[in-house]
Amino acid sequence: MIWYFLYPFRGTTEPPSLSPAHPLRRSFTRYGREASRHPVITILISVALATCLIYPFPFLYTNNFTNGASNLPHHVWTAAQPVQENIGTEPDVVMRSIWVHGSYMKALGRDVLLAGLEIQDALLGQTINFDPKLSAGLGKSVGHDAPLSLEMRDSFHAINGLSEQSWFFHSPLLYWSCSPDAIAEDDDIVSTINESSQRSTSVNVTLRHSIVFSGKRFEDHRLVAADALVITLVHKLDSPVGRQWERQAQVLAQSSNSPWRMYPRDGRVNNSQVYEFKFQPLSLQDDIFLAIAYSITVIYFLLSLTKLRALKSRFGLMLTVVAQTVISIMGSFTICAILKIDLSRVPREVYPFVVVAVGLENMFRLVNAVIITPSQSKTSSRIAEALGQAGPIALAGVGQDLLILYLLSKVVAPGVAAFCIFAAVALIFDFVLLLTFFVAVLSVDVRRTELSDSLETVKSQRKKLGAEKPKSTNAWVNAVLSGKTPISTRIAGTIVMICFILVLQGHFFDNESPLRTLSRALQFVRPDHQLLSSPPVSQLSVDINQARSPTAWLRMQDHETAREVIHVIKPDMHSYIARVYDPLVFVLESSDRTPTNAGVRRFLPAAYDFARNQSTIFVVSVLIVVAAVSLLMNYLLWNEEDTSHDDDGTIHKEDPLMTVTTLTPGHDLDVVMLSASPDGVVVSVGLDRRIRVWDIRQNDRSHYISPTTNELYPFPILAMAIDEQAEWVALLSVTGRLMLWNINEKQWGPSGIIGTETRAPPLFSFKSPKLGAIASLMIVWTSGSLIEVNFHLESANQIIELQPWEGLISSAKQFVAKPTTADAEPSLHIAVLTTKCTIHLASQLDDKWDSITIPLFTPEPSQKVKSILPLPKIGLLLAITDNTAILIHISSQATIHTFTDLDARPSSLQCFHSVKRSAFCGHNGLASFSLAYNSRSTGNPILRTYSPSQDGDLICTAPQQPSSNPSCSTWTSATLTTHKVPHDGAWQALPCGAIVGVTKHRASRRSSPSDFPSRSSSASGLRHRRAGTPRGQKTDETDGWEAWTLSVKGERHSVDLAGEGGRGEQLFVTGCETLARVGRRSVAVGFGNMVKVVMVGNERFEGEEGAGEVRLGRRRKGGRGGEESCIFYEREDGMEVALNERLF
């Protein structure tokens, strides 16, 4: 709701998306990663917390208010609150009382009891062995000020029939039948008081300690001390006993030989306040309202579960939600009891509602955040990213609700204010359990069942919506449920909480006018504003240090006493109104009223008893519960992966987002050429003229490529490529010889001379093979000729050479376009860019090639196209100039959009995008489109991401946007987000939606090669890099490089590029420019004489579809994956080959 109030300042109602570098988001992300790495520990912590909160509950709550415990809520509304006197409310009775004090907290002394009995008899007359039934039927009308005999006084007692002259009283002296002899002979007064706590008066009002003593101190559920005796007279408005009480009080004030001091001195008590005492059971209307409220909540919960189609363990989620709610409520009851917050004024059925309504919102927000994370990411990364996004919003929501509850508690009735405090404590506990218990359970669920991505569900829903009218009712309802309308479920929890509290206030509103409620609000806003008809504060002429004020004593009366008094005064009603006078206070002479430590303690007495008597059992119980849950978790996760240990049994301390692994053994000299396949095979060429093949999946396939004859000597190498199946490596020598190496057989294949150009060809790549076809190689020379080499093991003389283009070729890209019909086959295309800045597209039809020229209109005629980049997954092509990138529809050759103000080095531009989906218009759409390039001015990488202006929409990729359908987002209306990398260095875009690069640490950039010894001979200098450099210095040089990644959301992470292996053979590195993409999440880096693989998250190589994933440095059980289960990002330029044109 706070975002709606901030709309005039922010211009949007959407919650802010914190930057990944924001300290708050980083804290939530870091915590989410650690909690998901150690879910069992996190669950055990939450279980220990839950046990600590639930275990004391039965010791702190009771239905007997006399033992120092808190009063348990019942199915009734109870209240003791002031009532405005100017609304015509006529009191039913009058309540007068006297408080008798001795020394501080010494009211249970024999002298105080005897003095109290003397005062009671002076005010009411003789009360020894008080039995008003003996005078039944003797009452008659008396004069206004006429004295009363004992028989006449007793005849007006309420036990003899309710009339306008009835009366009754409460007194602790009734424990001894008001007999001075019984008090004097009692050897254990404290035991008598505790044993008589359930004794009733003649009108069946229980003499609870709460109504006959003030300032009570309990120990071991027994009353051990009190500060005052409270004697209360309850009488009708025309009762002569009340008038006698007033007269006798004045007489006592005039007595000069009294052993006490009286306040007020004259015995006249003028201050009074009208109170309402209520004991109202839940009505049928209340039951219906609560049933509807809980039913709607349950329906909302079940509907939300059905929407989570990617979540399989719905029953487990339901149990988690129920457990978290119960723990939050029980924990809140425990804390409120310890703080002596009376929750008995509101029925117990009301308390869970607000916790459920508000807590569900945060739970589903976190679950949805986890679902939209890529399923191929690590579990810890998914939980960390989701919590980093949802955590700050949930924290802001909880803070907002706490502020609202605080403000409401200042203007509502006292009973509702206590409910607000309970709700605030419950929301805090719910948030804590969300971060501990719920996050841990969710991480276990993700690890066990893999939260499947909801892409297919969204696609099917969009297809259905695409056939409907954009303004249909169902579309609006879905928009409301998804939170896209101004009033949505994002604020439902807060609105429900406010409305529910206002409904609770309505139960106390009949005795409090709206003017008074408004006055409460004005008093909160303006401290100098006086509350209308505020209850007067009882002030004595001398401060006697009362342990509890009369007002506080009155408001703490339990509901059972109210019920019994109502039954006496108004048997058929649920409330009564009484005019309550300030007490007449008596303090015995020579009493010491100096406060001591024996006074009323700050917290609930039962809490002190629990800490003193149950501490050992409590600690043992917590340990037993934690141990039992630990055994249960070990049993349930017996077959699961141990996330804290590696395969060799060593403890795995960190599970970072990025991992670096060194492929050993390395080369003797620098690596200058790399090639990789999507299946995890990497081939490197070094200055030592050695070729090395690594298979990341199967180490036994790693080997050297050794020339056998001078004819098969490939050096110097112009180009290198690996086929998609990772079976063949093709090498092109500067002599024009093409050589093939079989990776599986580890032997040479066919070879032959195919050309004499001494420059690397713009295109050197294997052709995507058809089923059963012979593998072939595609080569495009700079002269414009196209060569297709078909080979098998016996010969390589099947060479087809064409000349489809005129002029020199500066760039060529091969790609396969998906068929437009189900029965068609994928078609092979080659896009080329000539030195004259024309773009040609050659397509292979059967065995023939047909080339067309793509017309291009740049925004500025002086701007020349310098690079091209096909995007076959979405049927588009990028034509790149120095300042623009033109997006072209391949089929229609139409220009879709021009990205301006790039300031890019054209050859460095790379692209990745989300998987295409069906938009409302029926065409394909994208949820994200990113361009990454090096800036011409600074040389640093820049990432520009285009996304729809509204969440859930798609950017339409149709050649012409239909004007009749405004629901499709266009490129011009897309939101642009730019992230800049503050350093240079080589980098590579990955299909997972991130770029990965290498650079030097900032602190290490101060060092230069001139700081170290040099040699005249290059070879000896290179050797000296390993042998002559001091050990400590070498470590610093190696650690001076880092690998970094920047996600499409701007999240940046880095890791030391030194890695774990091969440190002793590592040469000094002055530059690192050789990179090649491996799979979807990995990059091979030529780091000096070593090859390092930088992996972001969990890698599932394309050649092992469904077979498993590879995590360098650790092995991990495979999970279900595939392109259809995750929102992938694609870079459609075939296999990556990092070429170095140095001839050697």
Query: The CATH number of the domain where 29 resides is what?
Result: 1.20.1640
Question: What confidence score (pLDDT) does residue 984 get?
Answer: 84
Of 1049, 94, 154, the C-alpha closest to 576 is 94
| Residue 556 within any structural domain of the chain | no
| Residue 163 within any structural domain of the chain | yes
Residue 693: pLDDT above 50? yes
- Let me know whether 344 and 254 are in one domain: no
Q: Which residue has the higher pLDDT, 258 or 775?
A: 258
Residue 1015: pLDDT above 50? no
Q: List the single range of 417-421, 467-471, 875-879, 1036-1040 with lowest mean pLDDT.
A: 467-471
Q: Which residue has the higher pLDDT, 676 or 921?
A: 676
Residue 1132: pLDDT above 50? no
Buried b vs exposed e over 1047-1073: b needs ≥16 C-beta within 10 Å? bbbbbebbbebbbebbeebbbbbeebe
Please state, in angstroms and as integers, the Cα–Cα distance from residue 1043 to each residue in 618, 831, 1082, following that order.
Answer: 51, 32, 12
Mean confidence (pLDDT) of the chain: 75
- Residues in a beta bridge with 876: 871, 889
| Residue 648 within any structural domain of the chain | no
Could you list the residue range(s) of the whole structural domain that residue 684 is in?
Answer: 658-1138
- What number is the average pLDDT over the span 181-203? 90
- Let me know whether 222 and 190 are in one domain: yes
Residues 6+ apart with CB under 8 A from 609: 59, 68, 218, 219, 220, 221
| Residue 208 within any structural domain of the chain | yes
Question: What confidence score (pLDDT) does residue 14 get?
Answer: 65
Question: What confidence score (pLDDT) does residue 5 get?
Answer: 56
pLDDT band for position 491 (cuts 50, 70, 90):
low
- What number is the average pLDDT over the span 161-171? 89
| Residue 530 within any structural domain of the chain | no
- Let me know whether 711 and 825 are in one domain: yes
Kindly state the percentage of the chain with pLDDT values over 90.
7
Question: What confidence score (pLDDT) does residue 1101 get?
Answer: 64
- What number is the average pLDDT over the span 626-636? 82
| Residue 973 within any structural domain of the chain | yes
- Let me know whether 1089 and 968 are in one domain: yes
Whole-model pTM above 0.85? no
In this structure, the number of other CB atoms found within 10 A of the CB of residue 728 comes to 20
- Residues in a beta bridge with 683: 675, 693
Domain count, the chain: 3
Q: Which residue has the higher pLDDT, 588 or 549?
A: 588
pLDDT in tens, 918-975: 777 777 888 889 999 999 888 899 999 998 887 777 888 887 755 555 567 888 888 8
Of 235, 233, 195, 197, the C-alpha closest to 213 is 197
Question: What confidence score (pLDDT) does residue 1017 get?
Answer: 33
Separate counts of helices (H) and strands (E) for the chain: 27, 49
- Let me know whether 693 and 791 are in one domain: yes
pLDDT band for position 587 (cuts 50, 70, 90):
very high
pLDDT in tens, 17-73: 777 778 888 899 889 888 888 888 888 898 999 899 888 888 887 765 556 667 777
Question: What confidence score (pLDDT) does residue 1120 get?
Answer: 30
Q: Which residue has the higher pLDDT, 357 or 500?
A: 357
CA pair distance 566, 561, nearest whole angstrom: 9
Question: What confidence score (pLDDT) does residue 99 get?
Answer: 92
Q: Which amino acid is at 886?
A: I
- Let me know whether 333 and 222 are in one domain: no
The CATH number of the domain holding residue 917 is: 2.130.10.10
- Let me know whether 748 and 789 are in one domain: yes
- Let me know whether 330 and 275 are in one domain: no
Question: What confidence score (pLDDT) does residue 231 get?
Answer: 94
Q: Cβ distance 20 to 388 under 8 Å?
A: yes
φ, ψ of residue 1010 to 5 degrees: the values are -70, -15
pLDDT band for position 180 (cuts 50, 70, 90):
very high
Q: Which residue has the higher pLDDT, 334 or 819?
A: 334
- What number is the average pLDDT over the span 378-399? 85
- Let me know whether 775 and 907 are in one domain: yes
Question: What confidence score (pLDDT) does residue 497 get?
Answer: 66
φ, ψ of residue 559 to 5 degrees: the values are -70, -25
CA pair distance 914, 909, nearest whole angstrom: 17
Question: What confidence score (pLDDT) does residue 496 get?
Answer: 66
Q: Which amino acid is at 55?
A: Y
φ, ψ of residue 515 to 5 degrees: the values are -60, -35
| Residue 563 within any structural domain of the chain | no
| Residue 461 within any structural domain of the chain | no
CA pair distance 1053, 148, nearest whole angstrom: 91
- Let me know whether 896 and 1039 are in one domain: yes
Question: What confidence score (pLDDT) does residue 558 get?
Answer: 63
Question: What confidence score (pLDDT) does residue 192 get?
Answer: 93
CA pair distance 82, 578, nearest whole angstrom: 10
Question: What confidence score (pLDDT) does residue 578 get?
Answer: 86
- What number is the average pLDDT over the span 301-328? 74
Q: How are the residues of the chain apportioned to helix, strand and coil, as percentages rounded to the nearest 5? A: 35, 25, 40
pLDDT band for position 545 (cuts 50, 70, 90):
low
Question: What confidence score (pLDDT) does residue 552 get?
Answer: 65
- What number is the average pLDDT over the span 1102-1116? 39
pLDDT in tens, 747-765: 888 878 887 677 888 888 8
- Residues in a beta bridge with 96: 233
- Let me know whether 22 and 88 are in one domain: no
Kindly state the percentage of the chain with pLDDT values over 70.
72
- What number is the average pLDDT over the span 476-480? 47
Tokens 């505020």 label which residue? 534
pLDDT band for position 1138 (cuts 50, 70, 90):
very low
Q: List the single range of 3-17, 576-590, 616-630, 685-699 with lowest mean pLDDT.
A: 3-17
Residue 472: pLDDT above 90? no
- Let me know whether 61 and 83 are in one domain: no
Residue 233: pLDDT above 90? yes
Question: What confidence score (pLDDT) does residue 188 get?
Answer: 92
